[in-house]
């Protein structure tokens, strides 16, 4: 829930009372400290869970009782339940931020069969559909022809958190020592500065970290001082370790586990990487851009919105090990290109920063507030298990 706190604070600045609906979680205390009214609702991530029927009833009754002027919903299941409840309760205006439709180019047929008809149906009860990447925006315009579809560049990244440090003043030895500590690197015999590629993501099938490890394995001796660092936990922890061992690159693959120092890791690495099968608009890439790092990413929805190939990073096809290996070598062997890409990213990320996004949301919220016949209490709808 805290991911959208700036939106809630924006509404509070307009004199609105804001309510948040989500699964019970630790974020509730932080929101209540901000004066946000929190409601626990048993929303389940799977649309087939029976508990979602109970959640729908709770939402409908609460929306009727509160008399909201508008509701803003997020995440697939919560957005469906929230829009049905808002329609039943007679809420004057409903907003929906699509963080990444589950139906996309290359998605499994089951996704299209389940989620596409639902979104087309829900579109009639959605006054404003907010998209955050170009593919979703184009598709939403086709099934929401009688409603408003708009584009907002993400949910807003606090750029001040990722202000880059002046690393260029450090001597090579100091840089190497710092990286060894952050990434658990062994000291090399020749004190060669390691070239670190950092991937910040849950270790799972969708994030596809194996593509990076297989690319490193394909390089063999050409990999030299390239090291892969993975910050995150997940079910593929042992799978990735076994793969690195089998390919003989275990000394160059570092699983860092759960980390709270992501900005520090990003500043210390050379390149960031995210080679997922599916993304909406990945925060991990935006964070890397904010600290001025080039990015290797798969050529998919959301990632290609952020990366301009050979200008701010390298786009590689999903599961193309050879092209990925070439990208690793090219960025390692061309420091001038790597630096130029990083500098370009610091400029490019501004449009995705919190100030730019809040300006866009301010206009949307003003329109929503003016839609009703009388000013009532606006609400935001959130699910604690949000993927974006």
Q: Would you state the CATH architecture of domain 2-156+353-381?
A: 3-Layer(aba) Sandwich (3.40)
Q: pLDDT per residue over 148-181, tens digit each? A: 999 999 999 999 988 755 544 555 567 777 778 8
The residues spanned by each domain of the chain are 2-156+353-381, 159-351
Q: What percent of the chain has pLDDT over 70?
A: 90
What fold characterizes domain 159-351?
Rossmann fold (3.40.50)
Q: Model confidence over 70-94: pLDDT tens digits?
A: 999 998 889 999 999 999 999 999 9
Spatial distance between the Cα atoms of 368 and 375, rounded to a whole number of angstroms: 10
| Average pLDDT of every residue of the chain | 89
DSSP 212-242: HHHHHHHHGGGGTTEEEEEEB--TTHHHHHH
Q: Read off the pLDDT of residues 282-333 as tens digits, 9 standing for 90 and up.
A: 999 999 999 999 999 999 999 999 999 999 999 999 999 999 999 999 999 9
Determine the average pLDDT of the residues in 213-242.
96
DSSP code for 334: -
What Rg, from alpha-carbon coordinates, does the chain have?
22
Measuring CA to CA, which residue among 5, 75, 87, 91 is closest to residue 41?
A: 75
Distance CA 315, CA 305 (A): 11
Closest Cα partner for 150 from 134, 129, 124?
129
């Amino acid at each position: 829930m805290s991911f959208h706190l700036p939106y809630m604070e924006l509404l509070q600045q307009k004199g609105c009372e804001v309510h948040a609906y989500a699964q019970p979680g630790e974020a509730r205390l932080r929101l209540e400290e901000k004066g946000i009214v929190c409601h626990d609702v048993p929303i389940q991530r799977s649309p087939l869970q029976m508990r979602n029927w109970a959640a729908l009833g709770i939402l409908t009754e609460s929306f009727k009782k509160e008399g909201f002027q508008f509701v803003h919903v997020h995440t697939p299941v919560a957005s469906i339940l929230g829009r049905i409840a808002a329609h039943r309760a007679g809420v004057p205006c409903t907003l929906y931020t699509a963080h990444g439709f589950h139906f996309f180019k290359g998605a499994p047929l089951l996704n299209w069969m389940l989620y596409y008809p639902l979104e087309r149906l829900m579109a009639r009860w959605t006054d404003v559909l907010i998209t955050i990447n170009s593919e979703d925006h184009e598709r939403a315009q086709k099934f929401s022809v009688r409603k408003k579809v708009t584009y907002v560049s993400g949910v807003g990244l606090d750029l001040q958190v990722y202000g880059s440090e002046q690393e260029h003043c450090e001597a090579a030895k100091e840089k190497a020592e710092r990286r060894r500590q952050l990434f658990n690197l062994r000291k090399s015999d020749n004190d060669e500065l390691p070239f670190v590629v950092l991937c910040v993501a849950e270790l799972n099938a969708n994030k596809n970290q194996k593509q990076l490890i297989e690319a490193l394995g394909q390089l063999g001796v050409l990999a030299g001082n390239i090291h892969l660092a993975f910050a995150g936990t997940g079910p593929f922890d042992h799978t990735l370790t076994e793969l690195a061992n089998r390919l003989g690159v275990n000394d160059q693959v570092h699983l860092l586990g759960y980390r709270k120092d992501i900005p520090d890791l990003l500043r210390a690495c050379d390149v960031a990487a995210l080679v997922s099968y599916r993304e909406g608009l990945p925060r991990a890439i935006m964070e890397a851009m904010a600290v001025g790092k080039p990015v290797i990413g798969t050529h998919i929805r959301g990632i290609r919105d952020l990366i301009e190939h050979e200008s701010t990073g390298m786009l590689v096809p999903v599961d193309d090990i050879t092209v990925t290996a070439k990208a690793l070598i090219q960025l390692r062997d061309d420091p001038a290109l790597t630096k130029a890409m990083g500098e370009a990213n610091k400029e490019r990320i501004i449009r995705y920063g919190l100030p730019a996004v809040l300006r866009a949301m301010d206009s949307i919220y003003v329109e929503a507030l003016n839609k009703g016949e009388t000013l009532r209490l606006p609400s935001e709808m959130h699910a604690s298990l949000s993927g974006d």
